[in-house]
Structure 1
Amino acid sequence: MKKKNVLRVTLASAIALSGFAPAALAHDALDLEGGQKGYREVFSQEELEALKIGYKFSGDKNVKNLTEVASIQIKPGEDGRQKNMADVYAHKGFAYTGTHTAGGGTGGVRVFDLKNPANPKEVATFATDIPNTWQEKVIVKTVNTPSFKGDLAVVSVQQLSRNSASQPNSFGGVLLYDVSDPYNPKKLGFYKFSDRRITGTHELYLVQQGNRLLLLNSSPYADYYTGGKEKDFQIIDVTNPANPQKLWDFDPRILPEVPANFNGYHWNAPDGKQRPVFNHSVITDNNGQYAYVSMWDLGTVIFDIRNPENPVLVGRTEYAPNQKGSAHSAALAKGGNILIETREVSNPVGAGYESAYGYTRIFDISDKSNPKLLSNFVTDLTFDIPPTSTGRTTFAKTVHDPKVQGNTLYLSYYSGGVLSVDITDPANPVEIGRYTPDGADVWGVFLDRNYVLASDMGQGLKVLLKNNSGGNSTRNLEVK
C-alpha cells in the first residue's frame, strides 16, 4: 500500500471515553419500544469533548497527493454561539457547507467564496429560519424549468428533538433557495413534513429530467415513527421550487425477502438476524435514470426512476451473514458501471458479526440487477479495535462519505481525515494519500477543480490541493 502517513492513535484516558461516543454523528436517537435506543448519532457537547480527551490523534497535513492550502472555521451563528460543520458541496467557485447540532443547532448553510482557494471568505448564511433544527446536507445545481431558471440549493432540515411541547415551531423537511447570487440567497419554498413524528430529512439529492426537476429525499425512521404512513425514501417534484409535490415513496415490503409485518425499522433478515433498515442517503446518475438508495442493512437499493411516479426496483447489494450492513452513502465510477458503497459501522464487535469498523465495498453494477462485489477497501483503522469495551464504540475509525474523480476515490474518514484511493483496477484499490490534520474530525469531502474540500466538524472548511495537478505550491491559486 503506497502511503506516506499513518494515523496514530493513543489511548490517553480510557475512563473518559467510557459510555461516550464522538460528536461527528448524523442521526437522532431512535426511540424503540421498551425504552430501547436504536441507531444514535446526535450527542451532547460534553460527549463531544469526551472524544477529544480520550484520544490523541496526530497526522500530517502535507502528504504525497494532498496539501492543505487553507483551513477556516465558520463564524458563530446568529445567536452568537459557535456551530460545527457538517457536509460540504461546491458549485461555480463557491463552497456550501451544512452545520450540525453544536451550539444549539440552527447554524444554517454557510457560503464561502473560493475565488482565492488559499483564502476562502465566508460571505453568506441561509436556511436558518426553522428553529431547533440542523442543516446537514446541501446540494446546489444549475437548473432550467418552466418555473425557475438559475442556481437552486436544496437543504436538509432535521429537528433537534421531536418533542412538540418544548419545540412547537420545529419541523423537518427540505428548504429550497435561489443561490444564483451566492451573496444573497433567496428562499423559494419549504417541503414541510406535517407529521412532527418525522425527524426530518438527513441526506438528499437533486436531478433534472428534461423540464422536470426531482428531489430525492432520505428521511430516516419516517416509516417507523408514522406506522408506515410516510416512508423513508421519497421522490418529490420541485419543478416549481415554491410548490414541491411528492410523487412516490418506497415501501420495503415490495421486496420478497421483507415480510409484510415489517415494522419500519427492524427486519428479520433471511440470515436469522434482526437488522436495522432505514434510508440514510441517496444519489442518482447524471441523467437521473437510476437512483442508488443507502438502506442500511438492506444494502444499496437500485431503482430505475425514468418514470418517477412509478420507479422500478432493479437490484440491491447484499451482506454476508457475519457482516453488519450499515450502507451509509454511495458514489459511482467508470461511467456508472462501478458502485462505491461506504459502511458506517461504529461498534466493531457484536455477537455473530466480524470484528471490524466500517469499510468500503466496490461493486461491478454493469448488470444492475445483480451487483457483483469486486473488492473490500480496508485501512489500518478497520481492525484497530480496543481489547475491552472502553472506547470501542466510536465513529473515529469508520469510513463516512465517498466521492470519485476519474480513477481516484476520495473518502472522508472522521479522525482518519481524507484518504485518496487509486481505483484504476476496482478489484484492487490502493491507498495513495492521506490527509490527517491534528484533531481531525472530517465529515464530508467534495471535489472542486484541482482541489479537494473537506468539512471538519470542529475545525471548519479545509481546502486541499491535489499535488499531482499542479505541484504543492500555493502560488497562483486565485481563480480569474
Structure 2
Amino acid sequence: MRRRQRRHVVLSLVAGVAALLVAGLPTAGGNTLSTGEQVVFPERAAVPRLPCRPGDRPETDLQGRVPKQDLLTGRAAEGYTCNLEVVGRFPTTAWAGFDTYQDCAYVAREGGAGGVLVLDVADPAHPVPTDVLATPAMLDPWESLRVNAKRGLLVAAGEPKPFIDIYDLTKDCRHPRLLSSAQILPAKGHEGWFAPDGNTYYASTTRNTDGVALLPSLFPVDIINPEQPRLMSSWMLQAQTHGGFTTEDGTRSYVCQQEAPPKDALLVLDTTSVATRQPGPQAGVLAQVPLGDNQWCQGAYRVTYDGHPYLIQYGERSGAADCSREDDNWANFGYPRIFDLADESRPRLVSTALLEVHLPEHCQDVTGEGAANGLGYSVHHCAPDRLYDPTILVCSWFAAGLRVLDIRDPHHPVEIGYFNPGINGALGTSARPVVRAERGEIWFTHDLAGLFVLRFRDGVWPFRDSEKCPEFDDHYFAHYNPGSSCSTATFDGIGKPAPAAPRYQKRKR
C-alpha cells in the first residue's frame, strides 16, 4: 500500500517491537503531553502465534477477525477456538463487570438486567446460580465490580446512580451479605479498583463534566469500616479517569486518563497521602505517558521479572478506527502494551501486542466491523496469571474473543490460544477475565453467551518449564488461587513496597 512520506517519527523498533521515544516525555512532576498529532509509527507487526491443534475451529481470515462472509454463511455462529477447550458454562447475559472469590463468581449482567448474578463454580463443569445482588450500584456496576480477597469484600460504584455498595463474602461467598449501600457525593462510578490492603477503594468516572465545567474524576474512598464508607478526597485531573492499579504499600497508583489523542495517557501517581491517611489527601503526578494511537486507556498492572519492574497497559479503542491516520500507521483498534518501569518518571515502551486485524494496511477492509461504537476488535480488559514473573496475559478483545499471550519474555509476547464463542452481533467479550493458574483454568464472560470455564489443550499451559509459584509474596496470585501450596501465595507482602531488586530477597518456592 502506498504511504505518504513519514515526517515526524517518534517511535522506533526495539528487538523488532515498537519502543517509545516520544520527545518531551515528562520528567518527575511533569504534566506535559506530546502533541499526539505528530505521532507516526514505522511499519507495524502482529504478535506471533502458536499453531492450533487438531480438532480446533481456527479463524478463517486475519488473526482476530470475524469476516463478513462467515457471518453470512453461518460459520461465525460456530465460534473460533485455538488450543482452548470448554470445561463448563453457565448461560446468562453479561457485561463489563466480573470477579471471583474462593469458588464463587460475580457476573454483572447486561445493562442492569437484574443486577449481579452469583455463581458457585466449585464444580467448574457445572456452575450453579445461588443469588442475585440488586442494590443500586449492583444494578449497573459497569467496570467497577471488584473483590478484595484479603478482606473478603465485594464492591461496586455504579453508574449512573452515584452509590457505592459493599458486601461481605467471608461467611458464605454464595450469598454475599450487604454491609452498606451509600451515596458519597460528589463521587461517581464507572470503573474502580482496590488498594491491596482492602482499606481504600478508588472510584473513577467518565462523567466528569456538567456540560460546561470539568468536574473531579477520581475518588479515594476509605472503607476501613465497610459499613460506613468515607470519601477521602475528590481529584481533578486533566480528563476522564478510567481503570487503575495500586501497589502493595499504596504509595503508587497507575491510572488511565481516558480521552481522545493527544490527551489519552497513563498517569503514574504518588498516592502516599492516601496510604498514610493524611487529611485531604492529594495525588502527585510523577509521570504522564502519552499513548500514541490509543483512545480510552482502560487499565494497567505493575509486574516484575526477576525483581525488575514493568507495567502492562491496555486501552479499549484506537484513535483512528475510521482509517484517518492510516498513512501514519496508527492501529485500527486498541491493544496491550508493556513498559519497562525502571525509571518510573519515564516508562519506556518495550513491546506491543497487535493482532493482524489491528494492522493499518488492513484498515479499509475491517473498519466498521466487530463490536459497536468503534470498539470493533479492540482489547478491553486483561489479567495476568500473577504479578511476579507472570507467564500469561489473558485479555477480552470484544469481537475478537478471549485471547491468551505468553508474556514470559515481556519484550516478545506470543499468542498461544483464543476462544471466541458464536458471533451474533453483540459487543462480545467485555469483562476482565480471571486466571486460576493452579487449576489450569481461565474464567470469563461473554455478553450474550454467559460464563465460560476454559482449559488449554495438550499441556500448552501451564508451562512445564516455568516456576509454579510467584517469585515474591503475591496477593494477586493468592486471591485467584485460594488454598495454594505456594509459600508466596500470601497476603503477607501487603503494606511493603512493591518488590524491585535488590531490595527484596526471594522466598523459597
Question: Match for 1:192 among 172, 183, 193?
Answer: 183
Ranges of 4+ aligned residues in structure 1 off by more than 6 Å: 52-56
Supply the AA of the counterpart residue of 1:71: R
Please state if 1:292 is matched with 2:254. Answer: yes
Asked if structure 1 preserves the Cα contact closer than 8 Å seen for 2:136 and 2:158, the reply is no
Asked if structure 2 preserves the Cα contact closer than 8 Å seen for 1:291 and 1:303, the reply is yes
Asked if structure 2 preserves the Cα contact closer than 8 Å seen for 1:327 and 1:344, the reply is yes
Find the counterpart in structure 2 of residue 247 from structure 1: 232
Question: Match for 1:398 among 378, 387, 411?
Answer: 378
Q: Distance in 2 between the 1:58 and 1:245 partners?
A: 47
Cα deviation for residue 219 of structure 1 reads 1.0
Find the counterpart in structure 2 of residue 424 from structure 1: 408
Cα RMSD after superposing both structures: 3.1
Cα deviation for residue 295 of structure 1 reads 0.6
Find the counterpart in structure 1 of residue 199 from structure 2: 213
Please state if 1:204 is matched with 2:204. Answer: no
Find the counterpart in structure 1 of residue 436 from structure 2: 448
Alpha carbons of structure 1 residues 231 and 90: separation in structure 2 relative to 1, 3 Å = same
Q: Distance in 2 between the 1:399 and 1:466 partners?
A: 21
Asked if structure 2 preserves the Cα contact closer than 8 Å seen for 1:218 and 1:234, the reply is yes
Task: After TM superposition, list the pairs within 5 Å mapping 1:377-392 onto structure 2.
Answer: 377-383=353-359, 384-387=362-365, 391=369
SS of residue matched to 1:399: coil
Question: Match for 1:411 among 370, 390, 395?
Answer: 395
SS of residue matched to 2:376: helix
Q: Distance in 1 between the 2:138 and 2:225 partners?
A: 25
Find the counterpart in structure 2 of residue 304 from structure 1: 270
Cα deviation for residue 379 of structure 1 reads 0.4
Q: Deviations over 1:268-325 (max 9, x none)?
A: xxxxxxxxx31111222344332111112331111122321233222132134xx244
Task: After TM superposition, list the pairs within 5 Å mapping 1:121-270 onto structure 2.
Answer: 121-129=128-136, 133-143=140-150, 150-159=151-160, 171-180=161-170, 181-192=172-183, 194=185, 200-209=188-197, 213-223=199-209, 227-228=213-214, 230-252=215-237
Q: Deviations over 1:36-95 (max 9, x none)?
A: xxxxxxxxxxxxxxxx8899736766532x321112113xxxxxxxx4333221211111
TM-score by length of 2: 0.66
Alpha carbons of structure 1 residues 53 and 191: separation in structure 2 relative to 1, 3 Å = farther
SS of residue matched to 1:292: strand
TM-score by length of 1: 0.70
**Larger deviation, residues 418-427 vs 334-343:** 334-343
Q: Deviations over 1:107-126 (max 9, x none)?
A: 22211111111111111111
Q: Distance in 1 between the 2:74 and 2:316 partners?
A: 20
Q: Distance in 1 between the 2:391 and 2:290 partners?
A: 25
Supply the AA of the counterpart residue of 2:191: E
Task: After TM superposition, list the pairs within 5 Å mapping 1:11-50 onto structure 2.
Answer: 11=68
SS of residue matched to 1:307: helix
SS of residue matched to 1:243: coil
Alpha carbons of structure 1 residues 428 and 108: separation in structure 2 relative to 1, 3 Å = same
Asked if structure 2 preserves the Cα contact closer than 8 Å seen for 1:88 and 1:137, the reply is no
Please state if 1:374 is matched with 2:365. Answer: no
Find the counterpart in structure 1 of residue 82 from structure 2: 63
Please state if 1:72 is matched with 2:90. Answer: yes
Please state if 1:10 is matched with 2:29. Answer: no
Cα deviation for residue 448 of structure 1 reads 2.2
Please state if 1:279 is matched with 2:241. Answer: yes
Alpha carbons of structure 1 residues 60 and 131: separation in structure 2 relative to 1, 3 Å = closer
Q: Structure 1: give runs of 5+ residues left out of the alignment.
A: 14-51, 75-82, 144-149, 160-170, 254-276, 472-478
Asked if structure 1 preserves the Cα contact closer than 8 Å seen for 2:392 and 2:408, the reply is yes
Find the counterpart in structure 2 of residue 462 from structure 1: 452
Cα deviation for residue 226 of structure 1 reads 7.7
Q: Distance in 2 between the 1:89 and 1:223 partners?
A: 29
Supply the AA of the counterpart residue of 2:76: F
Alpha carbons of structure 1 residues 442 and 365: separation in structure 2 relative to 1, 3 Å = same
SS of residue matched to 2:240: coil
SS of residue matched to 1:279: strand
Q: Deviations over 1:224-270 (max 9, x none)?
A: 55834x411111111111222222233225xxxxxxxxxxxxxxxxx
Cα deviation for residue 191 of structure 1 reads 4.0
Q: Distance in 2 between the 1:425 and 1:332 partners?
A: 15
Find the counterpart in structure 1 of residue 321 from structure 2: 348
Asked if structure 1 preserves the Cα contact closer than 8 Å seen for 2:137 and 2:159, the reply is no
Alpha carbons of structure 1 residues 8 and 377: separation in structure 2 relative to 1, 3 Å = closer
Q: Deviations over 1:155-195 (max 9, x none)?
A: 13112xxxxxxxxxxx2232111122223222212342546
Alpha carbons of structure 1 residues 131 and 8: separation in structure 2 relative to 1, 3 Å = closer
Question: Match for 1:331 among 280, 301, 304?
Answer: 301
Q: Structure 2: give runs of 5+ residues left out of the alignment.
A: 1-47, 53-57, 275-280, 464-482, 485-509
**Larger deviation, residues 446-455 vs 347-356:** 347-356
Identity between Structure 1 and Structure 2 (%) = 20
The structure with the greater share of residues assigned to strand is 1
SS of residue matched to 1:385: helix
Alpha carbons of structure 1 residues 355 and 366: separation in structure 2 relative to 1, 3 Å = closer
Alpha carbons of structure 1 residues 57 and 336: separation in structure 2 relative to 1, 3 Å = farther
Q: Distance in 2 between the 1:350 and 1:385 partners?
A: 6
How many corresponding residue pairs? 375
Q: Distance in 2 between the 1:205 and 1:284 partners?
A: 8
Find the counterpart in structure 1 of residue 43 from structure 2: none
Cα deviation for residue 382 of structure 1 reads 0.9
Supply the AA of the counterpart residue of 1:57: A
